[in-house]
């Protein structure tokens, strides 16, 4: 009897692939969040309130001018525009030297910071001296705080700005003196220098507006 061939017992290669599901766990990168410096933020908020104060002075000036245009027409020729323009240029250039001092402070170079801030201090002092000379000249010509509405508005607007500039000069001296307090110049001291620069740039910009309003707008 013929033999029936037995079925092949050779197992066929299995082509079924076992898929391994790998879960890639990505570790989130922890980025350091730079929080705003609260000293700088507080200074900016305070300067915003100061801006409102000077805006009120601007409004007062234009209100009095609209009510008494003849007084303005009689009094404005007393102003020495070339002298005041030169004084304004000195104050504007002091913002440049102030910013040079800021960059030096950010690089933690106290010697250069002190040099630039001292230059800025002297330029601001020259501006105040020039303003005092202008006041003396106008008083000799009869323009005083109580002589007219123009005199009141002129001395109030420029006088309050002069007080702010004087405060900035005191702040420069404080920053320079504090840089000698410690042997190692720290980031906290650099922050003080930066904050003072905010204030100084602010008073410079305000004066540009005051100069245009008082001396240029006829």
21-74 pLDDT, tens digit per residue, is 333 344 444 443 344 566 667 777 777 778 888 898 899 999 988 898 888 888
**pLDDT score for 39:** 63
Mean pLDDT of 1-9: 48
Q: H/E/C letters for each residue in the chain?
A: CCCCCCCCCCCCCCCCCCCCCCCCCCCCCCCCCCCCCHHHHHHHHHHHHHHHHHHHHHHHHHHHHHHCHHHHHHHHHHCCHHHHHHHHHHHHHHHHHHHHHHHHHHCCCHHHHHHHHHHHHHHHHHHHHHHHHHHHHHHHCCCCCCCCHHHHHHHHHHHHHHHHHHHHHHHHHHHHHHHCCCCCCCHHHHHHHHHHHHHHHHHHHHHHHHHHHHHHCC
**Which tens digit of pLDDT belongs to each residue from 77-101?**
899 999 999 999 999 999 999 999 9
Architecture of domain 38-216: Up-down Bundle (1.20)
């Amino acid at each position: 009897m013929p033999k029936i061939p037995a079925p092949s017992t050779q197992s066929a290669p299995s082509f079924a692939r076992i898929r391994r599901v790998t879960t890639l766990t990505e570790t989130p990168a922890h980025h350091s969040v730079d929080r705003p410096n609260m000293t700088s933020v507080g200074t900016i908020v305070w300067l915003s309130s100061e801006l409102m104060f000077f805006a009120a002075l601007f409004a007062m000036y234009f209100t009095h001018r609209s009510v008494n245009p003849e007084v303005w027409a009689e009094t404005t020729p007393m102003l020495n525009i070339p002298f005041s323009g030169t004084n304004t240029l000195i104050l504007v250039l002091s913002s440049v030297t102030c910013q040079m001092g800021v960059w030096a402070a950010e690089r933690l170079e106290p010697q250069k910071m002190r040099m630039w801030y001292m230059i800025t201090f002297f330029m601001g002092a020259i501006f105040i001296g020039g303003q005092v000379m202008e006041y003396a000249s106008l008083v000799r010509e009869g323009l005083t705080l109580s002589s007219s509405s123009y005199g009141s508005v002129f001395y109030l607007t420029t006088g309050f700005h002069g007080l702010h500039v004087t405060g900035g000069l005191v702040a420069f001296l404080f920053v320079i003196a504090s840089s000698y307090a410690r042997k190692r110049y720290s980031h906290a001291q650099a922050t003080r220098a930066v904050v003072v620069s905010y204030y100084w740039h602010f008073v410079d910009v305000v004066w540009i507006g005051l100069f245009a309003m008082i001396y240029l707008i006829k």
